[in-house]
Amino acid sequence: MRIKDFLHSATALNNISVKGWVRTKRDSKKFSFLEINDGSSLKGIQVVVDESVPGYDQLPATSTGASVNITGKLVESPGQGQQWEVHATEFQLLGTCPDDYPLQKKGHSPEFLRSIAHLRPRTNLFGAAFRLRSRISYAVHRFFQEQDFVHVHTPIITASDCEGAGELFRVTTLHGDIDKQSAEKDFFAKKTFLTVSGQLEAETFACGLGNVYTFGPTFRAENSNTTRHAAEFWMIEPEMAFTDLQGDIDMAEKFVQAMVRAALDECGEDLAFFNQFVDKGLLQRLEAVANAPFERMSYEDAVNALKNSGKTFDHPVEFGVNLQSEHERYLTEELLKCPVTVFNYPKEIKPFYMRLNDDNRTVTAMDLLVPGIGELIGGSQREERLDVLIGNMKKHDLNLADYSWYSDLRKYGTVEHAGFGLGFERLLMFLSGIQNIRDVIPFARTPGHAEF
């Protein structure tokens, strides 16, 4: 049993063992009070050690951060705010913790804690953030598995550039000036990269298995030092055969609402902590998102709304420009005050695989925007007409031979299909109110930073 189980125990218990790290210690003449945390919950448990207990002589050497093993009894606590405490019958100091322990005092900034990423999991904030991450990761799989989606492990090393944005990390075993050498001499006998998205490979499985999803790490060498971009992040990408843009948006909305519901129902203690110390409006916002329908708006309507907003943006808006985060946030936070999906973007600003609309100037792209974050999801219906796809590939200067496996899906029994990608860290920011992507991923990789 772990501390969380003791805190929720229905009865007093004899002969228990508590292992964890000391958060605080208070000494009185004949007793010591320790608060022990083992990471199983935000709350720790109070342990009373009196001077008669074997091992009591180790208490002077037991300080904040030390690891301990306590044998004892779980008894009703006379103290406030806790039902149970432990009376030690034996005390064992496992690992001392010298004075230079960086978490000696409470109240460190997230920036400082980032510089000691290896010790962050011992703090309340990061304990809560990473318990949430784990629970929601599980909820993602549950959501898709319960609807019979097949989980596909798409490759991490790939030869294709899904998004065509040129933000690829090269994977090579060549030495010296690699650009001057023939890629044929490289390990895979061609140029390879870390994947920016599992979508293209997921499409091959959807066009055979029906509904599939990937959930894996993705890599982007974009040099944007923002609070919402990481060079390594995790993405969830469902791909659905016999599905159009509307079905895609339906699924995206349903997925986001289910994740909010899972966080509210299964991570209550940690969410209450975030609501108190990170973002006071969090619970109210999440309840609203879980219960109310989302909005949908075409790109053209969004551009008009932005133009008529009476606001001055750093980046002016016109039909044809990419929406910037300031625009996205105006739409979801100020104009609509709820999540909104913007769809049918101009074809010029979107990748080659998106389905061209009959107007011949927009594609079936969709971005789901949420308050506090902006873009949480990007997706589209895929171009299933072989001739149109080939035309798009040529326009995007793709080497048709390299993508023949992709166009084959349209040659042999093509079907309408659609999918999207949700950035897992952005979802966690949305669910926790944590403002910086570096604080919801265990070891952040951002330009200039790859510690450990």
Q: Which residues in the 128-167 window bind ligand 4AD by CB under 6 A?
A: 162-163
Torsion, CA 168, CA 173, CA 178, CA 183, rounded to 10 = -80
Residue whose token pair is 């450990």: 452
The distance of closest approach from Cβ of residue 378 to Mg ion in the complex, given in angstroms and rounded to an integer, is 3
The distance of closest approach from Cβ of residue 124 to ligand 4AD in the complex, given in angstroms and rounded to an integer, is 25
Which of 237, 253, 328, 439 contacts ligand 4AD by CB under 6 A? 237
Which of 36, 235, 342, 444 contacts ligand 4AD by CB under 6 A? 235
Asked if 421 interacts with ligand 4AD (CB under 6 A), we say yes
Asked if 253 interacts with ligand 4AD (CB under 6 A), we say no
Question: How many C-beta atoms surround the C-beta of residue 197 within 10 A?
Answer: 23
Instruction: Please tell me the distance from the alpha carbon of residue 132 to that of residue 125, in angstroms, as a whole number.
Output: 11
Spatial contact of 234 and 196, defined as CB atoms under 8 Å apart: no
Helix (H) or strand (E) holding 262: helix 245-266
Asked if 72 interacts with Mg ion (CB under 5 A), we say no
What is the DSSP-derived secondary structure letter of residue 248? H
Spatial contact of 288 and 257, defined as CB atoms under 8 Å apart: no
The distance of closest approach from Cβ of residue 307 to ligand 4AD in the complex, given in angstroms and rounded to an integer, is 24
Q: Find which of ligand 4AD, Mg ion, none residue 25 binds, CB within 5 to 8 Å per kind.
A: none
Q: Find which of Mg ion, ligand 4AD, none residue 426 binds, CB within 5 to 8 Å per kind.
A: ligand 4AD
Spatial contact of 271 and 300, defined as CB atoms under 8 Å apart: no
Q: Which residues in the 343-382 window bind Mg ion by CB under 5 A?
A: 378
Instruction: Please tell me the distance from the alpha carbon of residue 18 to that of residue 1, in angstroms, as a whole number.
Output: 8
Which of 212, 289, 366, 376 contacts ligand 4AD by CB under 6 A? 376
| 19, burial (CB in 10 Å: exposed 0-12, middle 13-18, buried 19+) | middle
User: Reading across the β-sheet that carries 192-194, which strands appear in turn?
Assistant: 157-158, 192-194, 170-171
Q: Find which of Mg ion, ligand 4AD, none residue 300 binds, CB within 5 to 8 Å per kind.
A: none
Q: Which residues in the 192-211 window bind ligand 4AD by CB under 6 A?
A: 197, 199
Closer of 234 and 274 to ligand 4AD (Cβ): 234
Q: Find which of Mg ion, ligand 4AD, none residue 249 binds, CB within 5 to 8 Å per kind.
A: none
Region of 88-96, 153-161, 173-181, 377-385 interacting with ligand 4AD (CB under 6 A):
377-385
Q: Find which of ligand 4AD, Mg ion, none residue 236 binds, CB within 5 to 8 Å per kind.
A: none
Asked if 406 interacts with ligand 4AD (CB under 6 A), we say no
The distance of closest approach from Cβ of residue 373 to ligand 4AD in the complex, given in angstroms and rounded to an integer, is 8
Residue whose token pair is 């969090």: 282
Following DSSP, what letter does each residue of 300-347 receive, concatenated?
HHHHHHHHTT-PPPSS---TTSPPPHHHHHIIIIIISSS-EEEEEEEG
Helix (H) or strand (E) holding 19: strand 13-27
Q: Find which of ligand 4AD, Mg ion, none residue 421 binds, CB within 5 to 8 Å per kind.
A: ligand 4AD
Asked if 198 interacts with Mg ion (CB under 5 A), we say no
Question: How many C-beta atoms surround the C-beta of residue 103 within 10 A?
Answer: 18
Instruction: Please tell me the distance from the alpha carbon of residue 56 to that of residue 36, in angstroms, as a whole number.
Output: 16
Residues in the chain: 452
Closer of 59 and 241 to ligand 4AD (Cβ): 241
Closer of 165 and 388 to ligand 4AD (Cβ): 165
The distance of closest approach from Cβ of residue 245 to ligand 4AD in the complex, given in angstroms and rounded to an integer, is 12
Q: Beta 211-219 vs 150-151: how paired, if at all? A: parallel
Interface residues with ligand 4AD (CB under 6 A) are: 162-163, 197, 199, 220, 222, 229-230, 233, 235, 237, 375-380, 419-423, 425-426
**Contact residues for Mg ion, defined by CB under 5 A:** 378
